[in-house]
């Protein structure tokens, strides 16, 4: 919400029409002194240059604009903002996202599987509900990229920057899940959850995903598994982030949700099969409800002043007008 701390300052704008009215009555005009250098019987001097006439008009406009900006600055424009300050912990949620090359396949309403995963992350973590979100990238290897945090800007900056193939080929689901479990184990959040987003079966790493899923359940960590993809020939295109080589063609997808359902069942969790945007929307709604907790918070109000911007704009207008007067129109005063 925007407002002015000193709105009475706008009465100063009345000086503009007053000045022009006084000049019209010739009661407030500049003082001039005639200087005769010699008799001249020829035509009188006349200034007919359209360009110079325009520059004089522009100078007046800039000077008026400069004055208006100063008045606005004196009125002190501010914008009021509100923040929620939580006094209790929310949930800790870590996304384990598959970034193997097959996630570049485009079979979710024109989006690639990775883009669909990013869309789901934005929908789940987008609300300012006091929950903390983290990110684990998973392919042949797995690594914690963002520890659970309430800083949405930092989280989404890294989530949106994920690249297919940057952690090699393969899908180490067990390694990805174990990385998330390790970083949630010491959390004192009232709810802890892992959201696994993948399109394939475990084919890399040395950890059995079923074993890790059961470990997560014993530690009170909820497990949600999102299977993204369809079967058949799927268009695929991506650039290898390491070599820059572009891969384009079709992927013969053998997407099967049965293994993902077994992993979710082993951890007492829920598996979702996502093939359309509508299904993705339902999944997001379900997960958001399950990870939410009641929290206490207070509203913090704060104002941001903007007068500096108007003073800067006023100075710019005045300097441009001065340059035109002195350097182009060659006015002395």
Distance between CA 34 and CA 47 in Å, rounded?
Answer: 18
pLDDT tens digits for the chain (333 residues)? 678 888 888 888 888 888 877 777 777 665 565 656 566 566 665 555 778 788 888 988 999 999 999 999 999 998 888 776 665 678 899 999 999 888 888 888 888 989 999 998 998 888 767 789 999 999 989 999 999 998 889 999 999 999 988 888 888 999 999 999 999 998 888 889 999 999 877 778 788 999 999 999 999 999 999 988 888 888 888 888 878 888 888 887 777 778 889 999 999 999 988 888 788 888 888 888 888 766 556 677 778 888 899 999 999 999 999 998 888 877 655
For residue 45, report the phi and psi dihedrals to the nearest 5 degrees. Answer: -70, 135
Question: Which residue is associated with the tokens 């684990």?
Answer: 136
Distance between CA 76 and CA 57 in Å, rounded?
Answer: 29
Distance between CA 80 and CA 303 in Å, rounded?
Answer: 5
CA atoms 320, 321, 326, 330: torsion sign: positive
Grouping H, G, I as helix, E, B as strand and the rest as coil, residue 138 is: strand
pTM of the model: 0.66
Neighbours of 116 (CB within 10 A): 26
Number of H helices, E strands in the chain: 9, 13
Grouping H, G, I as helix, E, B as strand and the rest as coil, residue 172 is: coil
**Residue positions counted in the chain:** 333
Query: Is the separation of the CB atoms in 134 and 185 below 8 Å?
Result: no
Query: What is the chain's percent helix, strand, coil content, to nearest 5?
Result: 40, 25, 30
**Cα 116 to chain center, whole Å?**
18
Distance between CA 87 and CA 74 in Å, rounded?
Answer: 38
| Encoded tokens for 94 | 């870590």
The 10 Å CB-count burial string (b at 16+, else e) for 249-277 is eebebebebebbbebbebbebbbbbbbee
Q: Give the neighbor-by-neighbor strand order of the sheet with 270-274.
A: 142-149, 132-138, 92-98, 192-198, 221-228, 270-274
DSSP strand pairing (221-228 vs 270-274): parallel
């Amino acid at each position: 919400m925007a407002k002015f701390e000193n709105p009475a300052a706008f009465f100063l704008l009345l000086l503009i029409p007053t000045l022009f009215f006084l000049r019209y009555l010739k009661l407030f005009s500049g003082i001039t002194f005639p200087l005769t250098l010699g008799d001249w019987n020829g035509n009188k001097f006349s200034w007919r240059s359209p360009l110079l006439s325009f520059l004089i008009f522009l100078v007046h406009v800039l000077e008026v604009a400069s004055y208006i900006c100063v008045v606005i600055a004196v009125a002190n424009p501010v914008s009021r903002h509100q923040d929620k300050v939580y006094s209790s912990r929310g949930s800790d949620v870590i996304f384990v996202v598959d970034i193997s090359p097959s996630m570049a396949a485009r079979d979710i309403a024109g989006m690639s599987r990775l883009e669909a995963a990013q869309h789901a992350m934005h929908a789940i973590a987008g609300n300012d509900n006091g929950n903390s979100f983290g990110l684990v990238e998973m392919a042949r290897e797995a690594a914690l990229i963002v520890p659970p945090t309430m800083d949405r800007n930092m989280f989404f900056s890294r989530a949106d920057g994920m690249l297919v193939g940057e952690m090699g080929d393969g899908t180490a689901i067990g390694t990805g899940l174990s990385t998330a479990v390790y970083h949630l184990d010491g959390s004192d959040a009232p709810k802890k959850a892992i959201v696994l987003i993948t399109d394939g079966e475990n084919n890399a790493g040395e950890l059995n995903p079923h074993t890790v899923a059961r470990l997560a359940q014993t530690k009170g960590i909820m497990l949600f598994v999102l299977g993204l993809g369809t079967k058949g020939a799927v268009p695929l295109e991506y650039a290898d982030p390491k070599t820059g080589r572009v891969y384009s063609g079709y992927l013969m997808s053998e997407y099967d949700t049965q293994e993902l359902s077994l992993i979710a069942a082993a951890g007492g969790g829920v598996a979702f099969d996502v093939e359309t945007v509508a299904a993705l929307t339902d999944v997001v709604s379900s997960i958001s409800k399950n990870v939410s907790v009641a929290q206490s918070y207070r509203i913090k109000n704060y104002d941001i002043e903007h007068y500096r911007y108007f003073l800067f704009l006023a100075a710019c207008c005045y300097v441009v007008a001065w340059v035109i007067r002195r350097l182009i129109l060659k006015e002395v005063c």
